[in-house]
Amino acid sequence: MIARRLIAEHRVRLPLILLGVLVFGFALVGVFAAADASTRVSSVSGNAAIAFRLLGLDPLAAWVSLGQVHPIFLVLSALFAVSVGVRSVAGELEAGTLELTLARPVSRRRYLGTHLALLVPGCALIALAYAIGALAGDRTFDAPGAPLQPGRMLLAAVESAALLLAIGTLAVLVSAFSSERGRALSWVLGIVIGMYAANFLLVLWEPTRDLARLTFFWYFAPGAAIQRGDVDWGDVGVLAGWSVAASAVAIGHFQRRDLV
């Protein structure tokens, strides 16, 4: 019942997000193909914090990798991951529909677990849509550099899905402790934007470099997967571990909290 309602609520939004992400990946490669050589190199190397972690990559692989942490991609992804997470408890509680739902024969664990279960395929589809868009762009525009390989883009999509799931479970965790949708949304966006900025800025100064490890984005560097098929499974494990831990804490607190 809960799963059917959630799927019905996202039957229009999720396909539109997938289309937007796919078009973004396609257009990003098209822009790269149309730019001159000096513009391609300067565009990639100008993003200092990420470029340091992409040393040794060809410009196309670095460009496509940067697209997965581009604000457009993250905003489109957040429309799904964050909205599902924030609404799970705080949004439904504020709307007055949570108590009605829980009055039926459904446990709190199952209720929140269903929202978490929806995040997994949703985040995976978004990551896959970007990969398909980038591959289609490469085949259409014949971008300079080594061609993008489907298998390697799939590995990069796994890393991207892990990042999006970490953001989504953060939203669920914050929502489980909140009673107002707006406040929960503000906290989640503030934390994610803070992490995003910190990952770019903290690495520029040696004394603060290690603090960047506290952000999700430190553990996301898909360039090696795109170019060579190499995946740092330890980094993927950190993001996956956070998602599992955040989900467990959210469910545990939700089961105990007073909904009045």
Of 44-48, 75-79, 90-94, the least confident:
44-48
Q: pTM for the complete prediction?
A: 0.90
pLDDT score, position 74: 92
Q: How far apart are CA 120 and CA 103, in angstroms?
A: 27
User: In the predicted model, what is the mean pLDDT of residues 179-207?
Assistant: 91
* Residue with more model confidence, 147 or 9: 147
How many other CB atoms sit within 10 Å of the CB of residue 140? 12
User: In the predicted model, what is the mean pLDDT of residues 169-181?
Assistant: 95
Model pLDDT for residues 17-65, shown as the tens digit of each residue:
999 999 999 999 999 888 765 555 555 544 433 443 444 567 888 889 8
Ramachandran class of 142: left when φ > 0, alpha when ψ lies in -120 to 50, beta otherwise: left
Q: How far apart are CA 20 and CA 152, in angstroms?
A: 22
pLDDT score, position 45: 47
Model pLDDT for residues 128-168, shown as the tens digit of each residue:
999 999 999 999 998 887 899 999 999 999 999 999 999 99
Judge contact between 98 and 89, C-beta under 8 A: yes
> In the predicted model, what is the mean pLDDT of the chain?
88
Q: Residue ranges per domain, the chain?
A: 2-256
Of 4-8, 125-129, 145-149, 211-215, the least confident:
4-8
pLDDT score, position 202: 87
Burial class (CB in 10 A: 0-12, 13-18, 19+), 257: middle
- What beta strand segments (E) does the chain contain? none
Structure token pair of residue 40? 């391609």
